[in-house]
Amino acid sequence: MATRIVLDTSVFIAALLGPRGPSRETLRRCLSRRYVPLMGTALFLEYESVLSRDPLFANCRLNRHQRDTLFDAFLSVCQWQTVYYTWRPNLIDEADNHIIELAVAGQAGVIVTNNIRDFVRAELYFSGLRILSPDIFIQETL
């Protein structure tokens, strides 16, 4: 069975902006169904918001239509997860709490993010849930 993960928007955006690297490889493995990325309402809205910021993608090789097509492809391999209970782990960045809640609700083993520091001082700890950067995640799942 494929590893269930939550792919933070920081990884998806880095995959779009960089010509190669661990973020892009993580996205590639999701698209090839090696991992099962979870998606929930809050994360979906965050992705849509970030993807609509055209100035952010000034140096991206993909135009807006191509980025939207890639996002649609990513969504097609995601497992939709409804979050019924909000744990509010009280992260430094309150806006990231929904990512942990999604991971807990979907029984993901890993949150893959480029913003590790935003997740390290949560008031709640969930055993079995790891927070990894894309490079460490790729190394560990070779």
Residue 74 CA, chain-centre distance (Å), reads: 11
pLDDT at 28: 96
Binning pLDDT at 50, 70 and 90, where does residue 47 land? very high
- Domains of the chain, each with CATH number or no CATH: 3-140 (3.40.50.1010)
8 Å CB contact between 80 and 107: no
Helix ranges (H only) for the chain are: 9-17, 22-31, 41-51, 64-77, 97-105, 134-140
pLDDT at 125: 63
Among residues of the chain, what percentage have pLDDT more than 90? 69
pLDDT digits (tens, 9 = 90+) for 55-74: 999 999 999 999 999 999 99
Residue 18: pLDDT above 70? yes
Count of Cβ atoms closer than 10 Å to residue 56 Cβ: 13
Residue 13: pLDDT above 80? yes
CA distance 15 to 11: 6
Average pLDDT of the chain to the nearest whole number? 90
pLDDT at 96: 79
**Backbone dihedral angles phi then psi of residue 79, each to the nearest 5 degrees:** -100, 125
pLDDT digits (tens, 9 = 90+) for 104-134: 999 999 999 998 887 777 666 667 889 999 9
Residue 39: pLDDT above 70? yes
pLDDT at 117: 82
Binning pLDDT at 50, 70 and 90, where does residue 15 land? very high
Residue 106, classed as helix, strand or coil, is: coil
